[in-house]
Amino acid sequence: MSNVQYKIELFDLLKDLTSINTQVVFEKDDEGNILVRRSDSESTIAYQLKAPKEYFDFESEQIAFYNYPEFYQYFKALGEPDLSINQKNITLKEGSSKTSYLLSNPESIPSGPKSINFKDPDIRLQLTSEDLDELLKMIGLINGKKAQIIGDGKNITFKIFHTLHDNTFEKTFAAENLSNFTDEIDFVMFSTTFSNLPSKRNYVIEIKSQGFIKISLVDENIKLDIYTGRVKS
């Protein structure tokens, strides 16, 4: 077995995404890029991640982890170990220390969404890491379960609430109008969407007035898009 090239940033990012789904299947596209496509069990939120092959340059078509957080604990216990893979195991070695972790059968794990139809958004806004930190703090204080999205072509407000009659928190963002949108946007999504975002990072949020949202990581190398949409208020 030869060592597998990787970048720890990918493994760290996927650990943060296990709040959506703890099962992870690495695939490859036609250019050899690494793909991970997962959704939660109710299909209320999904993500698609693409990274250059040097972020995890394994030889097989797929690598699967039924419990990725458990593998990640093995991985971090050795710091930044050398990795090697055979058909059934991934071996982690750092200095004189070595451990072997059993890989899962990709066919035993439900597949993620192959494609998500999100075209022609109406609104775009920036969500900085500071904005996200503030939202997460207030969601925790309020025990907010949902977020109402209210706005027009110029501004978008996220209103966090547990029920409509409890304590609330509102934050307004300047918006870029992408479609000359002139109507009002008003729908509700789960506030856990923000909790599922890897923290300490910047994002771009795109909104379709019908009640669909795409949240994209700002990163030069890794493409991460997270999708969610309208729920009952």
Claim to verify: residue 136 and residue 176 sit in the same structural domain: yes
Mean pLDDT of 35-53: 95
* pLDDT for 4 beyond 90: yes
Residue 160 lies in a domain: yes
Same domain, 86 and 183: no
Q: Could you report the per-residue pLDDT of 130-182, keeping only the tens digit for each?
A: 999 999 999 999 999 999 999 988 999 999 998 766 789 999 999 999 999 88
**Pair 132, 213 in one domain:** yes
Structural domain ending residue among the three candidates 74, 108, 142: 108
Q: Which helix (H) or strand (E) holds 133?
A: helix 129-142
Q: Is residue 2 part of a domain?
A: no
Domain that holds residue 86: 8-108
Structure tokens at 49: 């991640």
Whether residue 98 lies inside any domain: the answer is yes
Phi first, then psi: what are they for 4, rounded to 5°? -100, 125
Residue 114 domain flag: no
Q: Is residue 177 part of a domain?
A: yes
104 and 127: one domain?
no
**pLDDT over 90 (residue 82):** yes
- Shared domain for 223 and 127, answered yes or no, is yes
134, 62: one domain: no
CATH number of the domain bearing residue 187: 3.10.150.10
80: number of Cβ within 10 Å: 13
Answer yes or no: do 128 and 211 share one domain: yes
38/128 Cα distance (integer angstroms)? 24
% of the chain with per-residue pLDDT over 70: 98
Residues 225 and 142 both lie in one domain: yes
Question: 212-217 and 223-229 as β-strands: parallel, antiparallel, unpaired?
Answer: antiparallel
- pLDDT band for position 232 (cuts 50, 70, 90): confident
141 and 223 fall within a common domain: yes
Q: Give the total number of structural domains in the chain.
A: 2
**Does 3 map to a domain?**
no
Contact by Cβ (8 Å): 129, 140: no
Residue 167: predicted pLDDT: 87
